[in-house]
Homo-oligomer: A and B are copies of this chain.
Amino acid sequence: MSVPPLTLSAEFRKIVEARMNQVLKGIEETFNQIIETQKITPTELKDELESLQESFNLLFQKWSLEILYTLLLKDAIGFGEIKKILTVNSRTLSDKLKMLQKHGYITRNVTAGPPLRVEYTLTSKGKNTVLLALPLLYYSSSSEVKA
């Protein structure tokens, strides 16, 4: 695509990346502590991966993170607006929203006023999840450019 960088993006990236370097250092340190004291067998590794797989599959299928990210930035938002922003199919969006709600990432609030209004908002679980995803997303997309 090679979209020209937005001012928002640029500022966003700079701040997030600065923060990220601290994060990274901390995680690596922690990780090394664990690994150096334990040898891991292939079987253990396989189990370890399987235990992560469910939430992994849920989060990283198409649209999930995009939806959460949109909610993070727009706070309360309706079905139609999400649809317009992401240009996603009604059916697909409906499915994803249901799934995210079922797993506790978002909340659905109906206000039955004159124009029927359904608002989606992030739960704290959902919010934390997106926030944790940010450094990963920005890091991989920024080093994509450099590489």
Would you call B27 and A137 a contact (CB within 8 A)? no
Interchain CB contact under 8 A, B27 and A135:
yes
Interface range for A: 35 or more
A143 in contact with B131 given A8-B38, A9-B51, A49-B70 (CB within 8 Å): no
Report the bound CA distance from A15 to B19 in whole Å. Answer: 20
Chain B: CB-nearest residue to A18: B30
8 Å CB contact of A45 from B22, B35, B73, B132: B73
In the complex, what residues of B have CB within 8 A of residue A33's CB? 15
Specify which of B12, B19, B84, B140 is in contact with A59 (CB 8 Å cutoff): B140
Copies of this chain:
2
The answer to whether A112 has its CB under 8 Å from any CB of chain B is: no
**Interchain residue pairs A-B with the least CB separation, the first 5:** A60-B60, A55-B140, A55-B141, A132-B136, A104-B147
Residues of A bordering B, CB below 8 Å? 1, 3, 5-6, 8-9, 11-12, 15-16, 19-20, 22-24, 26-28, 30-31, 33-35, 38, 40, 42, 44-56, 58-60, 65-66, 69-70, 72-74, 81, 84-86, 103-104, 125, 128-129, 131-141, 143-144, 147
